[in-house]
């Protein structure tokens, strides 16, 4: 039995278990109280993360400065990447959001019921899950995420 209830729309996220990649402390979810959060679970080996996930997350940072975007490098399968490789993503993809490494190698990913990478979780300012979806198809996942953001932010 899981130590936390399943993550679903309307639920409150349990605390994440992340490790720093850069020389910055890992924030807790409570650090963003009163602010919506968009989490992107990604992996360095994931073409969809790099091709569509990163650009979309960067777009959200620029379009919705009131939303905190957080990246979580998680590893459900495949090779492990060192911090230096993960640090290189910031410059290579011009990442405008902080990102961290998941523990054990996908502790938070499993806890949050992520379906793989990329996986998106959007919370409202009260910390409740508004949307949890897997994928980066611009005509499906990102389209629905975009509509949810527009509605949530009153635009």
Rounded Cα distance between 63 and 57, Å, is 10
Strands (E), 58-153: 68-73, 99-102, 119-123, 129-134
Domain ranges of the chain: 18-152
Percent of residues, the chain, with pLDDT higher than 70: 96
Domain at 18-152, CATH class: alpha beta
Task: Please write the tens of the pLDDT for every residue from 109-154.
Answer: 999 999 899 999 999 999 999 999 999 998 888 999 999 999 999 8
Query: Does the pLDDT of residue 49 top 70, yes or no?
Result: yes
What number of other Cβ atoms are within 10 A of residue 70's Cβ? 21
pLDDT of residue 155: 76
């Amino acid at each position: 039995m899981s130590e936390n209830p399943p993550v679903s729309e309307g639920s409150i996220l349990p605390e994440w278990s992340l490790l720093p990649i850069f020389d910055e402390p890992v924030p807790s979810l409570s650090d963003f109280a009163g602010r919506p959060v968009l989490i992107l679970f990604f992996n360095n080996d994931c073409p969809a993360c790099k091709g569509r996930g990163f650009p979309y997350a960067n777009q959200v940072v620029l379009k919705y400065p009131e939303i905190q975007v957080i990246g979580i490098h998680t590893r459900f399968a495949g090779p492990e990447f060192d911090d230096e490789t993960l640090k290189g993503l910031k410059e290579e993809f011009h990442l405008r959001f902080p990102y961290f490494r998941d523990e054990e190698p996908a502790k938070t990913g499993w806890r949050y019921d992520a379906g793989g990478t990329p996986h998106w979780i959007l919370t409202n300012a009260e910390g409740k899950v508004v949307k949890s979806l897997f994928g980066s198809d611009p005509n499906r996942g990102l389209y629905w995420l975009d509509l949810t953001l527009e509605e949530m932010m009153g635009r």
